[in-house]
Amino acid sequence: YVGLYQLLQTRIAPHAAISETVTAVKQLGYQALSGVVNAILRRVSRETSEFQVALEQAHGLPSWLLKRLKKDWPEQLSELSHELKHLAPLTLRVNERQVSRDDYLEILEEHDIAAHACTISQVGIVLDSQVQIPDLPGFDVGGFSVQDEHAQLCATLLPNLDDKFVVDACAAPGGKTAHILEKYQPRKLIALDQDTKRLTRVTENLERLLLEGEHVVIEAADAISWQAAEQPDCIVLDAPCSAIGVMRRHPDIRLLRHSTDIGQTVALQQQILENMWQQLKVGGTLLYITCSILKAENEQQMVEFFSKHADAKEIKIQADWGIEQIHGRQLLPQAGRGDGFFYCRIEKIA
């Protein structure tokens, strides 16, 4: 299955996929089957288009997920189930402190690397060429980050954060933290995450992007119980979720997620949201984000939150992208573009 997936759904060269899979079969002690595996993979390699057509006719979604998507997105179901099977594009976010998007596109062209500007994100670039990220010009000096186009919208939905105190809750691996520091000059920024290993990636990313400073604090803490010594002006809450919206990048989600997980995740989101709301100062902004496309984690979560909080006011997102919800705005995975993301902007009032 791994070899077939590599041949039909990834950019891995066919000869490499076949060779590595056959080698793995031998190493696992199935020497006698290596010839059969080799023959099957070579046939698929020769007839890739025919096999891809067959794949197109099957959505491959678990029944519980298909049922939820049919309920949440009846009009978009066909396109959505089709798109979730495809490989997501490789997208960069240029570090505007170092280079403009137009200038970096010219640099890529000079290196014969095909790319084009994103449609929604003003700092995003989609790579059309197969290339190793560390080999791209400017990688070592922090000229860009790898980040999905729809994830790049986070920093653009925030108020001016110059000289403000900002908390990025559930921050790892640090894409949002970095973008905030590229776009604004906050007085203080705390990046929280309970996973210390993933926090190491935040530190590494900020080092590469030349965004470190005494005003940036990386803190290992549980967002459910974290207490602020000073009330933040802004909290970015990229809440734990089912990650159905990024299934194109993580196809194992089809097997790892179960219907019972959703209720547990929604409860966890509520706990984190309640605690973070208590920390936020009056007049401050909380941006609620998930990479899910399930309404239970997004729109319905926000309906529940606003029903309990008279001190919460939604700041509507006026945009020509996504689908407006009762509260918030939903982006669905799009061919050649971004993943599924949900955003809701909330102001704390007296």
- Which helix (H) or strand (E) is 21 found in, with range? helix 14-27
Task: Give the 3-state secondary structure percentages of the chain, helix then strand then coil, rounded to 5.
Answer: 40, 15, 40
Does 171 appear as a known binding residue? yes
Does 118 appear as a known binding residue? no
Burial 1-37, CB ≥16 within 10 A → b, else e? eebbebbbeeeeebeebbeebbeebeeeeeeeebeeb
Does 172 appear as a known binding residue? yes
Does 176 appear as a known binding residue? yes
Does 67 appear as a known binding residue? no
What is the distance between the alpha carbons of residues 183 and 304, in angstroms, rounded to a whole number? 32
Does 88 appear as a known binding residue? no
Q: Which residues pair with 193 in a beta bridge?
A: 220
Does 193 appear as a known binding residue? yes
Does 174 appear as a known binding residue? yes
Q: Is 108 helix (H, G, I), strand (E, B) or coil?
A: helix
Give yes or no for a cis peptide into 251 (omega within 30° of 0): no
- Closest by alpha carbon to 189, among 209, 201, 174? 174
What is the distance between the alpha carbons of residues 138 and 140, in angstroms, rounded to a whole number? 6
Instruction: Decide if 291 is catalytic.
Output: yes
Single out the catalytic residue among 118, 154, 234, 291: 291
> By the 8 A CB rule, do 217 and 174 touch?
no
* Dihedral pair phi/psi, residue 11, rounded to 5°: -95, 10
- Closest by alpha carbon to 321, among 183, 74, 121, 127? 121
- Closest by alpha carbon to 61, among 44, 48, 50, 73? 73
Query: Which residues carry out catalysis?
Result: 291
Binding residue positions:
170-176, 193, 222, 238
- Residues within the annotated binding site for S-adenosyl-L-methionine? 170-176, 193, 222, 238
